[in-house]
Amino acid sequence: MRLVLERRAERSTTIAIASPLIAIALTLVTMTLLFALLGKSPVAALWVYFIDPLTDAYSLQEIAVKATPLVMIALGLSLCYLANVWNIGAEGQFLIGAVAGSWLAVRTNGTDAGHWVLPAMLVLGALGGALYALIPAICKVRFGASEILTSLMLVYVADLFLDYLVRGPWRDPKGYNFPTTPDFDPVATVPVLIEGSRLHAGALIALVLVAGAVILLGRTIKGFEIKVVGSAPKAARFAGFNADQLTILTFLISGALAGLAGIIEVAGPVGNLRPNISPGYGFTAIIVAFLGRLHPLGILIAGLFLALTFIGGEQAQISMRIPLDLTKVFQGILLFYVLACDSLVLYRIRLMPTHHRAGYGTG
């Protein structure tokens, strides 16, 4: 007997909705085994990971804080992936956005600049991310260089550039030699929503962007073009859609969103520019995009879920001494299951007798 794939006549809508849930369930089973393997009580560990953070107000706010950059980046990435454009350098665009916006915060630091500073920083951040994303887009469109490799290489370059700035020209002279810029002025800081908490206005921006993406994909011609170019390139050519132009457009949008997420992160929860401002948001956002089935509302839910794993992972490290790397393992396994379950939307698996041509099998 052997297993073969058989293409379904139509996409299965039931499985399309159920597949992320099945994937999460399978991941939890795998995690249970992993916890047991590490010699930890699976029930207690899963509780700390997934239930504890939901029970107190502080953790709930932290989930929203962590989900904000994830959702913003993943929205942009989903446009790329829908158009079959493989931007995997969102982490770099996030960092460059943070750098570009921070430039203004550093320049105006200690002056009596007014409330125009923060909006200008956000614009600069989005612009920086978009321009950085333009590099792989142009390399792809003009020269045919694989955008996968160029965008990924630029992550390392961005990381080193940020490192250079905060250790060199932008370092706070009063910062005890720590590699950070001075703390941003109040006018250069994203305001918090609730006094005394870390939940900031960036979360609202993320929600607005989700709504914007719903409209772009569901109600506009450009959104339609993006989907057609990705799913039916031949039909797109017949219709006269310009694939190169869409490559550049999706890269620009996703770069801008990643850059905006970057500047909001440093001007919000972090408070100044320093190395390690991202625990890999740009890469985790790839998982968010796929777990959300490349749909804006799905991405919102998936972003909250993966933010939960970040918070749960931190708490599990503190209270149960579970290594933080387990969160990455968890995220990787989750992406595998999501992709595998997605395959079942298009195909069904059938058990076939090995000698099916001989005619004595049961089919």
Partner 1 sequence: MGLAEAIILAVVTASTPLLLAAAGELVVERAGVLNLGVEGMMIMGAACGFAGAYLTGSTLIGALCGIAAGMALSAIFALLTLGLAVNQVATGLALTILGIGLSGLIGAGFVGEKIVPAPQLHLPLLSNLPFAGRILFAQDAFVYLSLALIAAMWWFIYRTRWGLVLRAVGDNHASAHALGYPVLTIRTCAVLFGGACAGLGGAYLPLAYTPFFIPGMTAGRGWIALALVVFASWLPGRLVWGAYLFGAVSILQLHAQGAGLGIPSQLMSALPYLATIMVLVVISRARGSARSAAPASLGMVFVPDR
Residues contributing to the site for partner 1 (CB under 8 A): 3-5, 7, 86, 88, 135, 139, 142-146, 148-150, 152-154, 156-157, 160-161, 163-164, 167-168, 283, 286-287, 290, 323-333, 335-336, 339-340, 342-343, 346-347, 349, 352, 356
Nearer to partner 1, 304 or 352 (CB): 352
- CB of residue 221 vs partner 1: minimum separation in angstroms? 26
Nearer to partner 1, 8 or 115 (CB): 8
Nearer to partner 1, 120 or 157 (CB): 157
Residues in contact with 89: Cβ distance below 8 Å, sequence separation at least 6, in sequence order: 133, 136, 150, 151, 152, 153, 154, 155, 282
Nearer to partner 1, 189 or 283 (CB): 283
- CB of residue 267 vs partner 1: minimum separation in angstroms? 23
Distance CA 139, CA 150 (A): 8
Distance CA 162, CA 168 (A): 10
- CB of residue 322 vs partner 1: minimum separation in angstroms? 10
For 77, what's the count of Cα atoms within 13 Å in the CB-facing half-sphere?
A: 35
- CB of residue 61 vs partner 1: minimum separation in angstroms? 26
Nearer to partner 1, 108 or 284 (CB): 284
Nearer to partner 1, 60 or 157 (CB): 157
Nearer to partner 1, 58 or 336 (CB): 336
- CB of residue 48 vs partner 1: minimum separation in angstroms? 17
- CB of residue 128 vs partner 1: minimum separation in angstroms? 17
- CB of residue 83 vs partner 1: minimum separation in angstroms? 13
